[in-house]
Structure 1
Amino acid sequence: MTRTDERVLALDLGTSSARALVLSGDDASPIPGALARHKIAPTYGPDGSATLALHEYVEGLLGCLDELQQNGHLENIGAIVLSSQWHSIVALDNKGAALTPVITWADTRSVDLAPSVDERAFHARTGAWLHRLYWTRRIPWLLATGSPAEFAGLPDLVLERLTGERVTSVSIASGTGTLDLATGMYDDEALDIAGVRADRLPSIVPTGWTGSLSTEYARRWPGLVGVPVHPPTGDGAASNVGTGGYDAGTAAVTVGTSAAVRVVHPIDDAPELPWELWRYRVDDKRAVTGMAFSAAGNLHAWLTGVLRLEADELAGAEIGASRAIAIPFMAGTRPPATVPSGSGVFFGLSFDDTAADLLAASLLGASLEVDRGLRMLDSLFGRKLDVVLGGGGIDASEWWRRCLTATFARPTTVCAEAEVGARGAAAVALGLSPSPGGEHLTPVDAEVKRVAAMRPRYEALRELAVQASQQRA
């Protein structure tokens, strides 16, 4: 653990940006002005590809460190931590050189599997499904389209670039869908399905492992010589911890490009995993169970752009008052559901509806989707969970914060820090317990009643949308 007078350098490996920022050593709060960002432009193709240029990504991240160095922020650093997107994969040759760009979670290319395995038992053991999101389907596809020798994810290759060691954490490995959650080791059946041995994947190191910067980077950033580099934490797990949602009585709802509701809990004696939920690892002792949603901040950004709305357009809108109902399947659904992208629907439109009504209906639809996951987690953990809200979407919209609170029909706490991923990675690595520290919201009875009254109609129309999408597919 760092001394409280030392600072933490956090590297945040996102899909739309790579960032480096400096945090305080006592509560992992960002140091004002000590942030550098490299914007990322994913490449999308008509074949379903969604990739990142590996060299450009890594060089952009290193440039962020150069910027912090030039501004005097790489002094008195006691630890280097990483938060990273889950699910990415890169095919490598026998010398460790990349044969492919970074294939992201949004990429739809893979092989179809018809393995003779008990998928429900597989899901209970790995927390994942045999879905294209995971390496069990990505690796066979990559093997069929080339001759890779090894495979790694983006955070594994960033860590190797910095330290010279290609290793992964139990948290990142769990997001590949090939980890036995109970043992923290690669799952034999998952490896058989993928068609590889464990030695073709990065070695899994314990949470307490640390590396150090290679000689090249020690010369480039002399203030980081000897500073321990901790293994990366998956962004979903890091975001939960960073919001203050790190116990089994608290659900963290985070809204960024996508959204998720999750609960962190001990891996030992974990409740049996329902088919509809996923489970990954936070660290050696904790797991995170939850549900993710493909329409969130991206939905808000799309609609405000298309409808040319101002940021405060919803300031006076009543929650649940619009007749319009939106089923937010614009980007489809996450597994195990099979709704494809392009399935978003509006019901009940009339000529007196405004652009604000359409936005309000869409954000309420997204809130109801998150509420589905929250209610499953309530049932799983046997209580009405406390709720913490965090992420850029939460920070950007006061109306959406109130909408979620009314939809959940319970008080919520808003995390005061926007940098929840970096903050959580520092907390996991250094054993910190950050507090949300933000405002407390109480649901308004009239809003709760309006949302509850329209919920049955929403559920019925949602089922129609699901059926229609399956017919189209």
Structure 2
Amino acid sequence: MSTSITIDLSQAEAPFVLAFDVGSTGTRAGIYDALARPVRGHRAKVGHAFTTVANGTSTIDPDQVVAEAREVMGAVLDGFPHQIAGVCICTFASSLVGEADGRALTPCYTYADSRPAPQVNYLKSILNEDEVQQRTGTRQHTGYLPARFLWLRQTDEETFGRVERWMSLGEYVWLRLIGVTAAGVSTAAWTGMLNRREATWDAELCGLAGVDPHYLTPIAPPSQPLEPVIAPGYPQLAEAAWFPPISDGHGQSIGAGSSDPGTLILSAATSGAMRAVVEGDIELLPRGVWCNRIDENRSILGGAINDVGRAFSWLGETLLLPPQDEIDAFLERDPVPGLPIVLPWFSGERSTGWVGEARAVFHRVSAATTPLELYRATAEGVAFSYARMLRELALVVGAPREILATGRVTGDVPALLQMVADVTATPVTPITLKRSTLRGTALHALEVLVPDVEPAPAPRGATIEPDTSRYPYYHRRMERFGVIYDKVIAHAN
């Protein structure tokens, strides 16, 4: 159950921040006070969905999102009597839009668009990928831009040649709203093309992708807000600083309360991730995780999974399942021997193997396998995916003290958190605040506007302790999961 720290306007403390969050299912906006508390009555959402096709297509109309941003901005500012000090935005990452003369020439390609899989394999064949990962923080994958640029050049050379600038979706929204844009450091990092030590576009990858850095937007840290060249049209925004767009992973990590590497942040929404906020440079990255710089001093170390909420949605739409209370009871019971093993990658694998063209595997499904058993086996597969990320993260930051869990799936499938605790032998505490990503986006602006003000803590639920009696069962299941992965996914790649 979510817990609110929302306050009435009469209780709010200036300065105020207007934050946007463009996610996989909608565009949201809200106003936050100096303590990062949402102001009651000043939040709005417009829903949307990606356009997906069986060939790996995953896109959204960027101008549709601009219209959504205008709509929610108007809704949250309606009746708000004070000046807004800062405006900020996060978007799903990565994303790519090609524009000319201030208008989109391409759809927005999302992180889940896996069509550049052949180009990923090509890049892997010619690059020293270990060296590139140490430099950029990422390995080659369909979710990153080097392969996407190659794919676009090869499949639509005419449009590629007409594009004047390439940018993320958040950058495009800012361009249309205020006439100027830049890539926030974390937005640039999530492209897979940022030299994380120099905070510049990576010369080698730009050369291989055939994109001159001049065709990309400048990179700006949170400490360098943008000056609008188009009036946004609301008197409350007359004096606002507009912060460069950031990634949703950046917003969610700080919004959930991650402040040191001993606390990992688990996100579970349409997609999912396991992250830690770290200070300074990391000399040697493990192969299975990424390291994305977010400002002048900090980075986020983590791993990601494309399909969490998406996997559970597929189960609900495809299987003849009983009522939700029966599903929950089946997930909460002790482990069930003989379940299938499920590799839950319906739209490609990210961490820890980076096989973008991978698809879900259901191993040892028989005529006697029930829908509930398939549901639980898939939930276990998601938990195993998180555990694989944690093992890699622990090589850098050590064993975590706790995991903080955020995202709608933590409420929709609460038994997943007990599975994660049992599989990782780590306490899991749900963050009971709705919209922690939106709040984190506001927080990153408040860190600049009021650096000495301590934000209100994110409310937490009861900590879920691992059941040590289940660990041997899950350990054996994870070993089997790894064997199937090596034979089916890694071998095919």
Q: Which amino acid aligns with 2:88?
A: V
List aligned pairs for 1:362-373, cutoff 5 A: 362-373=378-389
Contact 1:330-1:342 within 8 A present in 2 as well: yes
Contact 1:230-1:429 within 8 A present in 2 as well: yes
Aligned CA distance change for structure 1 residues 232 and 365 (closer, same or farther; 3 Å): same
In structure 2, what is the equivalent of residue 357 of structure 1? 373
Aligned CA distance change for structure 1 residues 358 and 74 (closer, same or farther; 3 Å): farther
In structure 2, what is the equivalent of residue 134 of structure 1? 144
Contact 1:329-1:339 within 8 A present in 2 as well: no
Comparing 415-424 with 403-412, which one deviates more in the overlay? 403-412
Contact 1:279-1:287 within 8 A present in 2 as well: yes
Secondary structure at the counterpart of residue 326 of structure 2: coil
List aligned pairs for 1:274-285, cutoff 5 A: 274-285=286-297
Comparing 222-231 with 43-52, which one deviates more in the overlay? 43-52
Q: CA deviation at 1:175?
A: 1.0
Secondary structure at the counterpart of residue 314 of structure 1: helix
Contact 2:188-2:194 within 8 A present in 1 as well: yes
Contact 2:114-2:347 within 8 A present in 1 as well: no
List aligned pairs for 1:311-350, cutoff 5 A: 311-317=324-330, 318-327=333-342, 328-334=344-350, 336-338=353-355, 340-347=357-364
Q: CA deviation at 1:8?
A: 2.0
Contact 1:283-1:428 within 8 A present in 2 as well: no
In structure 2, what is the equivalent of residue 407 of structure 1? 423
- Among 460, 468, 471, the residue aligned to 2:480: 460
Secondary structure at the counterpart of residue 159 of structure 1: helix
List aligned pairs for 1:202-351, cutoff 5 A: 202-218=217-233, 221-266=234-279, 268-306=280-318, 307-317=320-330, 318-327=333-342, 328-334=344-350, 336-338=353-355, 340-347=357-364, 351=368
Q: Structure 1 vs Structure 2: percent identity of aligned residues?
A: 24
List aligned pairs for 1:86-125, cutoff 5 A: 86-93=93-100, 95-110=101-116, 112=119, 113-114=122-123, 116-125=126-135
Residues in 2 aligned to 1:462 and 1:21: alpha-carbon distance in whole angstroms? 42
Contact 1:237-1:281 within 8 A present in 2 as well: no
Aligned CA distance change for structure 1 residues 408 and 47 (closer, same or farther; 3 Å): closer
Residues in 1 aligned to 2:481 and 2:418: alpha-carbon distance in whole angstroms? 24
Secondary structure at the counterpart of residue 241 of structure 2: coil
Q: Which amino acid aligns with 2:205?
A: A
Secondary structure at the counterpart of residue 276 of structure 2: strand
Q: Is 1:162 aligned to 2:177, yes or no?
A: yes
Contact 1:13-1:84 within 8 A present in 2 as well: yes
Aligned CA distance change for structure 1 residues 195 and 210 (closer, same or farther; 3 Å): same
Count matched residues.
462
In structure 2, what is the equivalent of residue 60 of structure 1? 68
List aligned pairs for 1:167-182, cutoff 5 A: 167-182=182-197
Map Cα deviations across residues 204-237 of structure 1 (whole Å, 9 max, x no partner): 112211235554423xx22221111112221112
Residues in 2 aligned to 1:388 and 1:208: alpha-carbon distance in whole angstroms? 27
Secondary structure at the counterpart of residue 8 of structure 1: strand
Q: CA deviation at 1:278?
A: 1.0
- Structure 2 stretches of 5 or more lacking a match? 1-11, 448-453
Q: CA deviation at 1:178?
A: 1.2
Residues in 2 aligned to 1:29 and 1:349: alpha-carbon distance in whole angstroms? 51
Contact 1:185-1:204 within 8 A present in 2 as well: yes
Q: Which amino acid aligns with 1:191?
A: C
Aligned CA distance change for structure 1 residues 29 and 46 (closer, same or farther; 3 Å): same
Q: CA deviation at 1:73?
A: 4.0
- Among 358, 379, 382, the residue aligned to 2:395: 379
In structure 1, what is the equivalent of residue 59 of structure 2? 51
Map Cα deviations across residues 112-137 of structure 1 (whole Å, 9 max, x no partner): 23474322111111012233322212
Q: Is 1:193 aligned to 2:201, yes or no?
A: no
Residues in 2 aligned to 1:383 and 1:468: alpha-carbon distance in whole angstroms? 30
In structure 2, what is the equivalent of residue 6 of structure 1? 15
Map Cα deviations across residues 6-34 of structure 1 (whole Å, 9 max, x no partner): 332110011221111222321x2333342
Secondary structure at the counterpart of residue 411 of structure 2: helix
Residues in 2 aligned to 1:354 and 1:243: alpha-carbon distance in whole angstroms? 36
Residues in 2 aligned to 1:340 and 1:367: alpha-carbon distance in whole angstroms? 21
Higher relative contact order (CA 8 A, sep 6+): 2
Q: CA deviation at 1:333?
A: 1.1
Q: Which amino acid aligns with 2:103?
A: A
Comparing 199-208 with 113-122, which one deviates more in the overlay? 113-122
Q: CA deviation at 1:374?
A: 1.0
- Structure 1 stretches of 5 or more lacking a match? none
Q: Is 1:39 aligned to 2:55, yes or no?
A: no
Residues in 2 aligned to 1:452 and 1:331: alpha-carbon distance in whole angstroms? 30
- Among 452, 461, 467, the residue aligned to 1:439: 461
Q: Which amino acid aligns with 1:286?
A: R
Secondary structure at the counterpart of residue 251 of structure 1: strand
Q: CA deviation at 1:360?
A: 2.2
Secondary structure at the counterpart of residue 325 of structure 2: coil
Q: Which amino acid aligns with 2:195?
A: D
Residues in 1 aligned to 2:126 and 2:327: alpha-carbon distance in whole angstroms? 51
Q: Which amino acid aligns with 1:242?
A: G
Q: Which amino acid aligns with 2:66?
A: V
Residues in 2 aligned to 1:465 and 1:215: alpha-carbon distance in whole angstroms? 52
Map Cα deviations across residues 85-120 of structure 1 (whole Å, 9 max, x no partner): 111111223x34321111111112336234743221
Map Cα deviations across residues 11-59 of structure 1 (whole Å, 9 max, x no partner): 0011221111222321x23333422112113222354321111111111
Map Cα deviations across residues 139-170 of structure 1 (whole Å, 9 max, x no partner): 23323422123211111111222221121111
Contact 2:17-2:445 within 8 A present in 1 as well: no
Contact 1:339-1:469 within 8 A present in 2 as well: no
Aligned CA distance change for structure 1 residues 367 and 69 (closer, same or farther; 3 Å): same
In structure 1, what is the equivalent of residue 84 of structure 2? 77
Q: CA deviation at 1:370?
A: 0.2
Residues in 2 aligned to 1:340 and 1:246: alpha-carbon distance in whole angstroms? 34
